[in-house]
Amino acid sequence: MTRIAVIPGDGIGPEVVEQAVLTLDEFRLGLDFDFLDHVNADTYLRTDVALSDEDVARVASSRSALLGAIGDPRVGSPAYGRGVLLRLRFDLDLYVNYRPAKLLSDRLSPLRRDRARAVDCVVIRENTEGLYTGLGGSLRPGGGHEIALDIDLSTHRGTARVVDHAFSVARREVCMVDKANAVEHGGGLWQRCWRTAAARHPDMATRHMYVDAAAMRMVTDPTTFDVIVTNNSYGDILSDVASAVAGGIGTAASANLNPERGFGLYEPVHGSAPDIAGKQVANPIGAILSAGLLLADLGHTAEAAALRHAVARAVTEGETTPDLGGPLDTRKAGQAVRARL
């Protein structure tokens, strides 16, 4: 049996993960799901522990992991989200955040011009460094003399490996995105790592864009992108823009990967959506397509393709949750996908 750790989490997380797991089950591939149901805001509020060492070990020793969402309005401190998501990314060294954005159905595009609609790109976001390490501090908090410092960390090792990964998965072009004209030191390091990798892949087209220009292009003509590689914060934002032009936050899938270890943590891009939690109206497609990425990485490529195809058909035929204009609840939307497998 192939053990998959499952962290349903908070809010709509358990609702969408249920549909992802049922969909994976449909393939009868001998996957054995290990549910870490206790990892949620209730446990954190009671015990002050976001994720225990045992939890981390359980996830690390599994073949892959699937996560719903982490976040609850009752928890004020960012320590909870950091303690689960960032801890898993950092402790398991999941340095690639892989976020594909491919239009599922023409009717989902928010773009008016036909020519610009067929987005099919991947944002590869560095996932362990940048602005999100927590390095920094504040001085004299709370007053008019407060100073706040968040350090934007880039290491040669961390940058080179994620840039190399982008070249290894690109089909036609790698576009490196930074802000080297204003953020000089990190920008320079990214530029050097990118040029070195490009020299090793003379057959791959390359392009460089500043992040502000890339964000504009993602809206005006996203079809020009293949693989974008960028740092943690720019990747966070650009991949959300990409998911919006590809069909919306409810459909966006992602993987947190350590390619050397062959381990992945798969999760929808959306959060716990407290505004709709508990109502069974959340769109399960982001979670289901994340499970599809898991299947592909386990080598079940035909099943992964069939899953994507079934999702696209359900969407085109309007068998979706209300966010995509359909009449179905979360369970029925999951069933609509499974019925088309």
Nearest distance from residue 272's CB to Mg ion, in Å? 13
Please give the sequence-ordered ranges of beta strands (E in DSSP) within the chain, or none if there are none: 2-9, 31-35, 64-69, 96-102, 120-126, 136-139, 147-150, 173-178, 205-210, 227-230, 253-258, 263-268
Query: Which residue is it, tokens 């940048």?
Result: 130
Longest dimension (CA), the chain: 61
Torsion of CA 254, 259, 263, 265, to 10 degrees: -20
Q: Which of residues 69-128 bind ligand NAI (CB under 6 A)?
A: 69-71, 81, 85
Is residue 102 flagged as an active site residue? no
Among 15, 236, 303, 323, binds Mg ion (CB under 5 A): 236
Does 267 participate in binding Mg ion (rule CB under 5 A)?
A: no
Nearest distance from residue 238's CB to Mg ion, in Å? 10
Kindly tell me which of 236 and 319 has the beta carbon lying closer to Mg ion. Answer: 236
- The one of ligand NAI, Mg ion, none whose footprint includes residue 236, by CB under 5 to 8 A per kind, is Mg ion
The terminus-to-terminus CA distance of the chain in angstroms comes to 23
Q: Hey, what are 52's tokens?
A: 């225990």
3-state secondary structure of 247: coil
Does 272 participate in binding ligand NAI (rule CB under 6 A)?
A: yes
x-or-dash string of contact with ligand NAI, 284-303, rule CB under 6 A: --x-----------------
Does 270 participate in binding ligand NAI (rule CB under 6 A)?
A: yes
Contact 91, 55 (CB under 8 A): no
Among the listed residues 152, 179, 297, 323, the single catalytic one is: 179
What is the set of active-site residues? 132, 179, 212, 236, 240
Which residues make up the interface to ligand NAI (CB under 6 A)? Answer: 12, 16, 69-71, 81, 85, 249-250, 267, 270-276, 282-283, 286, 323
Which residues make up the interface to Mg ion (CB under 5 A)? Answer: 236
